[in-house]
Amino acid sequence: MQTTYKIRSIKSYRVKRAFLRSVVYVILGACTIICIAPFVWMLLTSVKSTAEAYRFPPTIIPKKWLWTNYTTGLQKANFLLFFRNTAFVAILSTIGTVLSAQYVAYGFSRFKCKGSALFYTLMMATMMLPNQVTLIPQYLLYLKLGMVDTYLPLLIPAWLGGGAFNIFLFIQFFRTLPKELDEAAFIDGASTFKTFIHIMMPSVKPVSLVVLVMSLVHHWNDFFTPLIYINSTNKFTLAIGLQFLNSSMGTTKIGQMMAVAVATMIPVLIIFFLAQKYFVQGIKMSGMKD
């Protein structure tokens, strides 16, 4: 009797587990469809004519694939110029974010001085401030320094800490590293800076990739900051250029608009998929405790 009861219990448990797993898969599948549906719609619309794009009921598969939307749209959008501007800003800002956030986090995690806890608290408190709160003071500062309509307002913040959240990620990872590494380097005659360069930086590669991907995606898609500080058309980034194209074309050439949007997203998607494994690994490791 006991054996029969155990067998029934095991079967019941397996059935429940299979049912719960199926429910989880269904929910995840539905969420996946919801997330990728706008991108699929944009991709299909990019090869439709304007009449077909606004047809009701809508057609999912285009009846006529207009690949010329890409060539015409990219030419009208001055895509190559805006692409170079965006790549310049995104790459320099990403490099500055990774390097400066590492350096600041190394100081907070490895060195204690009077008031360091207060400065750490103030730094973390900046995460509670919306960007709109500091927008006017920052704009007036850059205006007085003569930096408006240049890329400096987009680059300087990245090279001066890179943001509290990125610093926090590095601090969490630095705290998982044993301090014996620093002590061994000091015994061998390495200075604090050499210890940071040769010991600490190679040890935080997973988190560096996380910050790199997040920073690159943020600066590549950033619309608000260039909109405030950039006035010249030849200095526009892709986000501003796309909106400029939208205002000039309106809804008359929605297929070309979607084609430019797809071309804008492709570099970021490629980088994310290549670094996805290390991105997830870095997020997990940065949450480890001592």
- Distance, CA of 258 to CA of 264 (rounded, Å): 10
Query: Is the pLDDT assigned to residue 88 strictly greater than 90?
Result: yes
- From first CA to last CA, the distance across the chain in angstroms is 50
pLDDT score of 113: 79
CA nearest 101: which of 181, 42, 175, 160? 160
pLDDT score of 245: 72
Label residue 287 by pLDDT band (50, 70, 90). Answer: very low
Higher pLDDT, 199 or 140: 140
* pLDDT cut 70: percent of the chain above it: 88
Q: What are the φ/ψ torsions at residue 287 (nearest 5 degrees)?
A: -95, 5
Q: What is the mean pLDDT of the chain?
A: 82
DSSP string for residues in the chain: -HHHHHHHHHHHHHHHHHHHHHHHHHHHHHHHHHHHHHHHHHHHHTTS-HHHHT-SSPPSS-SS--THHHHHHHHHTTHHHHHHHHHHHHHHHHHHHHHHHHHHHHHHHH---TTHHHHHHHHHHGGGS-TTTTHHHHHHHHHHTT-TTSSHHHHHHHHTT--HHHHHHHHHHHTTS-THHHHHHHHTT--HHHHIIIIIHHHTHHHHHHHHHHHHHHHHH--HHHHHH---GGG--HHHHHHHHHHHHTTTTHHHHHHHHHHHHHHHHHHHHHHHHHHHHHHHHHT---
> Highest mean pLDDT: which of 93-107, 181-195, 234-248?
93-107
The mean pLDDT of 262-270, rounded to a whole number, is 84
DSSP run (H or E) holding 116: helix 116-125
Query: Is the pLDDT assigned to residue 92 strictly greater than 90?
Result: yes
* pLDDT cut 90: percent of the chain above it: 12
Q: How far is residue 201 from each of residues 13, 206, 207, measured CA to CA in Å?
A: 48, 10, 10
- What helix, strand, coil percent values describe the chain, rounded to 5? 75, 0, 25
Query: Is the pLDDT assigned to residue 284 strictly greater than 80?
Result: no
Collapsing DSSP to helix, strand or coil, 46 comes out as coil
SS (H, E, C) 153-217: HHHHHHHCCCCHHHHHHHHHHHCCCCCHHHHHHHHCCCCHHHHHHHHHHHHCHHHHHHHHHHHHH
Higher pLDDT, 210 or 275: 210
Q: What are the φ/ψ torsions at residue 88 (nearest 5 degrees)?
A: -60, -50
Single-letter amino acid, residue 118: L
Higher pLDDT, 155 or 13: 155
Label residue 289 by pLDDT band (50, 70, 90). Answer: very low
Question: Among the listed ranges 7-11, 45-49, 118-122, which one has the minimum average pLDDT value?
Answer: 7-11
pLDDT single digits (tens) 126-149: 888 887 888 888 999 999 999 998
Contact 255, 53 (CB under 8 A): yes
The mean pLDDT of 99-127, rounded to a whole number, is 85
Label residue 189 by pLDDT band (50, 70, 90). Answer: confident
The mean pLDDT of 248-271, rounded to a whole number, is 77
- Rg for the chain (alpha carbons), in Å? 25
pLDDT score of 55: 79
Contact 42, 261 (CB under 8 A): yes
Question: Among the listed ranges 57-66, 91-100, 231-240, which one has the minimum average pLDDT value?
Answer: 57-66
Query: Is the pLDDT assigned to residue 46 strictly greater than 50?
Result: yes
pLDDT score of 280: 63
Question: Among the listed ranges 40-54, 117-131, 245-259, 267-281, which one has the minimum average pLDDT value?
Answer: 245-259
Higher pLDDT, 24 or 250: 24
